Structure 1
Amino acid sequence: MAGSVARHRRPSMTTKCPSSVRSGSPTARTLLSTLVSTAQIDYGDVPTWISSVGGLLSLVAAGTAAWIAWKLLVTERTRDRQAADDARRAQAGLIAAWIPDATDREGLDQATIRVLVRNNSTLPVYRVLVAIVVRSDDGFTEVASSGGPQGRFREFAAPGDNEIRVMVPATTNRRRVVLTFRDAAGVEWRRDHDGALTELPA
């Protein structure tokens, strides 16, 4: 009818899909497949993750505790060895010898000199032998001994000062003393001309 009122259609509210999705293009299918695959991955649950982390931390803690225990054991054993060595050297460290008179130390002529052996311990030491040495091209050379040519030892040196006399030849170098002895425990020691104390082989 010419006089009829034209009816207006309401606009459609439906969102149109892109033609690429409607047509099922390869790009759209790939994207959709990726999203679906990601959604299907099993990441586990929170308790499982907590349990795994807790187990790892326990393992680390156990390893750390074992390392600390080992270090403490090594330190304790080192301390024990040092204490045993100190105890072994206790008496020997208190024994020394020197030439008290400057004239005897520096004298150029043959003479009988006095050597003082001091035992600051409370027990005697045994098989005491004093050697007189002088500097040479090879270091130090022995020129005389309290034991004489036969190398006889003095039987013992009591606590306190013990005097030993030694016949020495003429020399142009300063005389020094090397002392050997056996402590009350039966260990042999050498006190060198520079004061160094060394345990001798049995």
Structure 2
Amino acid sequence: MSSIDWGDAPTWIAAVFAGGAALFAGLTIRSQRQQIAEQRDFIGEQSQNLTLERAELRASQEQRRWAQAKQVSMTFRTAGQSGVSDYNASVGYDRWSVDVFNGSDEPIRDVMVRFGDTYNAASAHEVEANHLPDQGRRTAPLAVLGPGRTANFESPQFQEVTVDNNRPALQFTDAAGAVWRRDEHGVLTEVEE
């Protein structure tokens, strides 16, 4: 039979405890690494959620920013006889008449209609205005156009051949201070200042 050398027993016991401690430490480190990986995944998901929420907020803000401008419309037609005769027949129109309607719930400001290269040649008046001494006509730009109101702008007289080259374009400032332009085709764009 072999005998146990009890002098080495504390070393063996210490070695078993050290091995157990090393195993416990290894398992703890592995568990912590797993927790860190799970936390990184969670943070990544939260980051994606925040990015999506920010994108939705931006889209909502952009939609609100365009909401008032989209409710402002412009209709136009040719008006007035040119007075030029061609073989005793009238040759058409010599100016534009433009109606600007503010269909929003807030007023718009600095309402102008451009005809070709000129803004200030137009006169404007609110259609619903009473007959003022100046017949309701004011020099463009119209300072304020209230909600649900319409303003009429008329171009200067052009030669009949140039009327079509001087089509109207609307420019106005919304309640938030953004400047907008609506062209003859109804396309709405924000004007960069």
Name the counterpart of 2:61: 84
The answer to whether the 8 A contact 1:98-1:177 is kept is no
What amino acid is the match of 1:182?
T
Measure how far apart 1:47 and its partner are. 5.8
| Identity across matched positions, percent | 20
What amino acid is the match of 1:157?
L
Q: CA RMSD in A?
A: 3.3
Could you list the structure 1 runs, at least 4 aligned residues long, displaced by more than 3 angstroms after superposition.
43-53, 107-110, 172-176
* SS across alignment from 1:58: helix
1:112 equivalent in alignment to 2:80: no
Deviation per residue, 1:104-149 (Å, 9 max, x gap)? 5xx975623210111111222121110124xxxxxxxx3x43x218
Name the counterpart of 2:142: 154
Name the counterpart of 2:5: none
Unmatched segments (≥5 aa) in structure 2: 1-18, 83-90, 123-138
Question: 1:166–1:58: structure 2 CA closer, same or farther, 3 Å change rule?
Answer: same
Count the aligned residue pairs. 145
Distance 1:173 1:198 in 2: 25
Distance 1:172 1:148 in 2: 14
Distance 1:97 1:162 in 2: 10
1:64 equivalent in alignment to 2:74: no
Question: 1:123–1:180: structure 2 CA closer, same or farther, 3 Å change rule?
Answer: same
Question: 1:172–1:88: structure 2 CA closer, same or farther, 3 Å change rule?
Answer: closer
Q: TM-score, normalised by structure 1?
A: 0.57
Question: 1:174–1:152: structure 2 CA closer, same or farther, 3 Å change rule?
Answer: closer
Distance 1:148 1:120 in 2: 26
Measure how far apart 1:48 and its partner are. 6.2
Distance 1:172 1:161 in 2: 23
